[in-house]
Amino acid sequence: MKSVCARTICRLLVVLMVWTPYQFAQAGMIGTDQVVSAASQADRAALLNFFSRSDVASRLQALGIDSASARDRVATLTDQEVQSLAAQIDSMPAGADSALGAILIIALLAVAVWYFWKRM
């Protein structure tokens, strides 16, 4: 009984392995212009997403630039300018760059030192 089940399972696995194709993907050559245009499209989309954020739009309004005109200006940039601007945006820090965090950390450390000093 055990060998019959084992033989049946082995035969089933052999048949399934024969039926299962090993490669689904096909390789082909693509041109450099296709790669560059895809990267440029991605950078333009990143810039447009950046300019559509509410904090960026409010800052542009404060500087006297309409968000629609900023999007039009992004559309007229060359690929090299778009790549440079997208790299600058990607290298920017994610949070606000203020001294408030440092002041809070120093204050907390001072309170902790004072507390432990008085405790001794």
Q: pLDDT tens-digit profile of 15-51? A: 888 777 665 667 778 777 777 777 788 888 888 888 8
Which two tokens mark 109? Answer: 């450390």
Q: pLDDT tens-digit profile of 72-95? A: 888 888 888 888 888 888 887 666
Q: What is the DSSP-derived secondary structure letter of residue 28?
A: -
| pTM above threshold 0.85 | no
51, 60 contact by CB (below 8 A): yes
Q: What residue spans define the domains of the chain?
A: 37-92
